[in-house]
Amino acid sequence: MSDVGLSDLPVTADLRKVLETPATSRPRHMVLNMGPQHPSTHGVLRIVIELDGEFIVKARSDIGFLHTGIEKQSEALTYQQVVTLTDRVDYLANLSNNLAYCLAVEKLLQLEIPPKAQWMRVMLVELTRLNSHLVWLGTHALDIGAMTVFLYCMREREDLLRIFEMFSGQRMMTSYIRVGGLALEPPRGWETLVDKFLGYFPSKVDEYDDLLRKNPIWMNRTQNIGQMDVDAMIAMGITGPMLRGAGVQTDVRRDEPYSSYDKFDFEIPTETANDVYARYRVRVREMRESVKIIRQAREGMPEGAYQAAAPQVVLPEREKMKSQMEALIYHFKIVSEGIRVPAGEVYHAIESPRGELGYYIVSDGTSKPLRLHMRTPSFGNLQALPQMIEGKLIADVVAILGSVDIVLGDVDR
């Protein structure tokens, strides 16, 4: 089979590398091109797999199909404008990206954020975690053949998107968290929507868990596959639920609390089995913890301003702008020239649904970043994929890839 159809494939460097590997091993190896348009790659990822029968001898992932140059574009935009680009990095966890970026800029500005904005941010970011985990669970289960869970997850996700829409006017590209606080005053009646969601969602998580754990196919296809040595995982830069599924207690929310996460009571779920099933367990338990955090934020939501009292950074209220000279001047300066950020550099990391999400910003004192780099969790986690699938069956690739929980926008930026 080794030469069947190969001449029809575009021979890029990746493929060439696999093809030119000395055929010391058995000769009947087949090279399989999975992606870039493959439904199980969750976007546009290409994996070149060399097979011996049904076993994977060698694998390489080819990325970059979704590269949109967000880091380069950011250098040409003002600090407030960049917020809209951060939505598009990880489109399932847009608010997490908004938050990480804003926290980094606020650290440079040394800005104090009022408690209400901080708690609101925590609540929204945890809702985002649920949104992301729901999409992950649905598609992961769908890949392995459990169709029902996908439909259920999408049903609950719809309510989350409605909440985001209520807050920001947008379902996915929210840009609701801004430098200095939030974009808008939280809408009237948000409590009702969040309460309604909190009321029924925990029982839905039990439902998914029941559906999958009592399904022998799911259990057989997720247990004891995708393991990797814990030290190797750390050395490969894996973060987030994958590392916690290997028994490492690490979570940026706990280790370097930001946005008053230290005031919330929650657990960091870990599992020790370190297989696809353990990662599933970690994420399902995380959903329950997120519900706990959202409930605490909802019940203890402080009163007060939703934006920092920093006229150089935050746009003045419309009415003030019309009646007060100073407010008008600030408004004009912020809109026409942007906010000036003191020179310096900063790295701020948060725990996104996928792991450590960090923004590294270098400022030269102007209103546009000199350099903006995103340390995205999917990029770090995906790199270890070959180590997890080599030597395994081809049928397991989809299950293992699903357990990595990549978003290709997050990988390629």
Partner 1 sequence: MISEAVATHPIVVALQQESSSWLVSANIALGELTIEVEADRVAHVCRFLRDEKAFNRLSTVTAVDRYPVEPRFEVVYHLYSISLKRRVRVKARVVSENPELDSVIPVWPSANWYEREVFDLFGIRFRNHPEMTRILMPEGWEGHPLRKDYPVHGHRYDYAEPEGGNSL
Q: Is 112 in the site for partner 1 (CB under 8 A)?
A: no
For residue 5, with 0-12 CB atoms within 10 Å meaning exposed, 13-18 middle and 19 or more buried, which class applies?
Answer: exposed
Torsion angles phi and psi, residue 371, rounded to 5: -155, 135
Q: Is 51 in the site for partner 1 (CB under 8 A)?
A: no
Residues contacting partner 1: total by CB under 8 A: 44
218: which residues sit within 8 A by CB, 6+ positions away?
Answer: 141, 144, 146, 212
d(CA 250, CA 244) in angstroms, rounded, equals 7
Closest distance to partner 1 from the beta carbon of 177 (Å):
20
Q: Is 383 in the site for partner 1 (CB under 8 A)?
A: yes
The region of 1-9, 91-99, 181-189, 358-366 touching partner 1 under the rule CB under 8 A is 358-366
219: which residues sit within 8 A by CB, 6+ positions away?
Answer: 213, 277
Of residues 151 and 232, the one with the C-beta less far from partner 1: 232
Closest distance to partner 1 from the beta carbon of 250 (Å):
5
d(CA 54, CA 32) in angstroms, rounded, equals 11
Of residues 32 and 234, the one with the C-beta less far from partner 1: 234
Q: Is 362 in the site for partner 1 (CB under 8 A)?
A: yes
For residue 395, with 0-12 CB atoms within 10 Å meaning exposed, 13-18 middle and 19 or more buried, which class applies?
Answer: exposed
180-197 burial by CB neighbour count: b if 16+ within 10 A, else e? bbbbeebeeebeebbeeb
Q: Is 380 in the site for partner 1 (CB under 8 A)?
A: yes
For residue 128, with 0-12 CB atoms within 10 Å meaning exposed, 13-18 middle and 19 or more buried, which class applies?
Answer: buried
> Among 171, 79, 19, which Cα is nearest to 364's?
79
d(CA 276, CA 303) in angstroms, rounded, equals 43
Of residues 123 and 411, the one with the C-beta less far from partner 1: 411
Per-position DSSP letters for 343-371, written without gaps between them: SEEEEEEEEETTEEEEEEEEE-SSSS-SE
Closest distance to partner 1 from the beta carbon of 411 (Å):
9
Preceding omega of 36 cis (within 30 degrees of 0): yes
Of residues 183 and 407, the one with the C-beta less far from partner 1: 407
Closest distance to partner 1 from the beta carbon of 340 (Å):
17
SS3 210: helix
| Span 60-79, contacts to partner 1 by CB under 8 A | 63-64, 67, 69, 71-73, 75-76
Q: Is 250 in the site for partner 1 (CB under 8 A)?
A: yes
Residue of 2, 172, 211, 360 interacting with partner 1 (CB under 8 A) = 360
Residue of 81, 215, 371, 394 interacting with partner 1 (CB under 8 A) = 371
Residue of 121, 140, 375, 392 interacting with partner 1 (CB under 8 A) = 375
235: which residues sit within 8 A by CB, 6+ positions away?
Answer: none
Terminal-residue alpha carbon distance, the chain = 37
What is the contact mask toward partner 1 in residues 217 to 246, using x (rule: CB under 8 A)?
---------------x-xxxx-x-------
Of residues 78 and 174, the one with the C-beta less far from partner 1: 78
Which residue intervals of 112-215 are DSSP H helices?
115-144, 147-168, 190-213
Residue of 248, 287, 400, 404 interacting with partner 1 (CB under 8 A) = 248
The two structure tokens encoding residue 33: 């091109």
Q: Is 202 in the site for partner 1 (CB under 8 A)?
A: no
Q: Is 390 in the site for partner 1 (CB under 8 A)?
A: no
Residue of 85, 102, 123, 349 interacting with partner 1 (CB under 8 A) = 349
Residue of 198, 346, 393, 394 interacting with partner 1 (CB under 8 A) = 346
Binding site for partner 1 (CB under 8 A): 12-13, 17, 63-64, 67, 69, 71-73, 75-76, 107-108, 110, 232, 234-237, 239, 248, 250, 255-256, 344-347, 349, 356, 358, 360, 362, 370-371, 373, 375, 379-380, 383-384, 412-413
